[in-house]
Structure 1
């Protein structure tokens, strides 16, 4: 290989490894998981157990890192894993047995006690419950289970260094011929026969402990009398010492020289790229800090961030800089004073709290929804300033408090609260089908606006019933653009969103596109039809249930199942079954695993309007009466 070719090869390898290590693993918690909360248990028994863990790049390719994650020593992993040296480097997907102390832990009145190994983990930058349980713990625990055993923590407001319990699923044996239970995460290529063969146990033994149905990335338990011997990859031999060329064949010294030169060139290119990337990163950090008006100041006892214009007389200058950096269009928003917002919410009293960190406040006789947050609203403001549509919650203004480093976004107050509360909480008044269908069309219109009429296109990334608000006429508005992204077809490592609504391609590969909003919207349509939540208390996913239920060819059978499956409040009405079937068809189309097969939002709006015409006679004011349809 010539030096030039080697140089190109090394450059391509660098790019490959760069993306390989940065992109998330596809071993994600998929919607096929059967158990999301945990495994119930009784008693107070504690036992030794093991987790089958796969080494993963970039952070868990040595025993020290894996040991720190599970709070065990390197030797405690090396011995049962058939690894001779605790300092050995690991390779991607290398199998390990990690020892666990399994116990039955009381949780709450709803779940009783759950069986798990209690692992303490300190939150790191960009961590979420979902990311840590999926990628770091290899799906040996789940996001809902972490929430369940950490009831005092707010998943959307985690602090770096905050110690969190991650319940790694495990089980104690209940038979005399079983010494250990191995926690194993099912892979897509697995079946009961292959798992039994790999661990040297009978298939029936696995079925007795679990059941005869496997779900991708679900945890099952393998009963064993003794741990099987893991087959570890061979260690690559060390390169032979280099000679002076006298003991080599003709031309080998020249080849080695060319290789060394090529390697030098390749490493030089890699070094330059790293310097370039580092320089861009440092420049970005510097610019962003300047934007926010902060500077780092060295103080005795550690570093402290101080506001460069922290004096009272410079606050106005800070606000001017902030507005200029966010957008040239921010003059259309009202800039509130902190004192106004504090007075409006009675000092952000809990009695004014609507949900999360959003408070209800009255200013000059007008009601507002005030979202309080640490200064991380730059992206949200950047997106909100370029959207304006009747089916999106309107941003009225904002406020920055440099002394507390808080930012407040002030929205219009939407009187009737969230769609979630209307569908899933106790209310005397129920939403009829006509209202539900109109809500669906409103949401679709709002999505069509952000998907088709903004440049670059905006992806909301968190469409769910709790982010849909209803005004006094019960018309829908999309709220909460905190996770929204401007631009599409990007790939991210930082998986965010709400379990039960997340599109499979985003969950597995971090692909961001408008089609992920389409998937989430399909789940909301199912909520409107069924009255069921996106994920129930047992961790069952509504969309997976719908697909299983309606995988039939007969339209008559599908209609029969729909009557059994739909919200009983709708059944009490007289409305068009054609309309209901039309919306169900749209919902199922939105939930295609292959995003390219999902309809565009424009097609969805058209189809929903057709369903509305089938069910109702629309008058000039947009209201109509249900048609009488025999059941």
Structure 2
């Protein structure tokens, strides 16, 4: 059968699948015992321990999400490595269409939230709505009503393209007394499912589903239920994940009822069906093209490995990659290029000649800051970081992370003659946060809403590396100069040169920047995610005050805040903050409650006892509440008059 017939057959198949009517989802489901099947998700419970490891059952290859682990990871804010690890797959594996995958989630119950969920950041594309994304790309693992609740400052009917929206993936933590359950899986009921068939697919008993979700009669098509995992993942996987449904690909999960489902006419159903047919044809063509490209790429890689050729890139030669602690080529330790095959599969390997050409030989005219240079390659702008040391650890960490609030690594280059390593990143247009805060003209352009969004972006990035990577990543160098601002003034975390994986590690080599170093790290060399939380608290103080983390006399900013802001009665906090904050902010009208909330978060993050510092999950939730002050803000504020007295205005 030739390619044209294959395309026609695939298009016809997808058309018929996509044209299936979308059953309405009842909003009056019977309330289960422990996991209410409401549009808001599963209730938080006092007898459960949050946060916890959870999973969602996701079927690959639908709603335009490519058949690639990296694409699935992108959707849920995970790395390819995390998805592969959860399913006991190779990072280069390509899932089959419809193949069930376990997506790892960090399930939490943020302070003040009545429901547990795993927050997932999604960037709005043309035509997206909360309902469309929830029911198609996210396959009913959340509901549009819950999306509205966790994004109170956004208008659902007026979403700008490019805006970041938090989609709460429904999840739950096991009961504290349930020692048999390793984790809970969020599963969406499909056509023909019964408790018995689902239990069989996960190798559990049907009664466990009743205990978690209530009677089977109360479940609805495309509603979410919880399924227990009885053993450790990925050493053991349920049959539904192990089974490869290549020959019996299930239909794409039809969406649940839209917000206007009760008034949708037969004519509109016809339009939806027509759209589905068109999308099916496009999807079939795109899918076959991607499969052909994947096959070609694999053949080229296999052919190259058989001959063990030189890998072009200006530094990887003879199938080996020089590695020397001294930074000189030809050092003692070397390893095969196969050891970095995951990086080669994901990143572009640049040639040293093209980097030198595009930076004028790394001339100062192209210097951005430090050892980072601006380079335009094939019409695209990059930031090239020149390093005089081995960057293997940094590369290993960067290949595990993937988040919109982390600066994206595009590729790398090793110069085997000099031992230099070059990391090529996306170019972030507006530079580092510290330059904006310390320049008076720029600082006036950073209104409070912008600063609060920067704080939220940074919190989301840290939450990701702390909660959604395994082993967990500790950045170790959070500071305002490592926070970059893009064209939309959204923040991205940069510079993973000091980052470490693991938790509760101890080191005798103390590195860091004055004013940001956590006391337990300085005293004992203890490396935990809480040291990032501490440094984050300092950045919050910088955002509020517009001052550096350490003054000219070496006094840390947190010490000044402790003397002038933190101490005293809470009811006077807003006034003390107004007297202490950046003069550029004092010139504006700022909601005092919002600013005071951020200062309160900073104080909690700077607690000397790391165990009493909040997690970044709680920080992000609290800051989102601070953002809500704008919705109810009447215009009253506090300021400092010319005599230095605090006055209301």
- TM-score for both structures, normalised by structure 1: 0.48
Higher CA-based Rg: 1
- TM-score for both structures, normalised by structure 2: 0.47
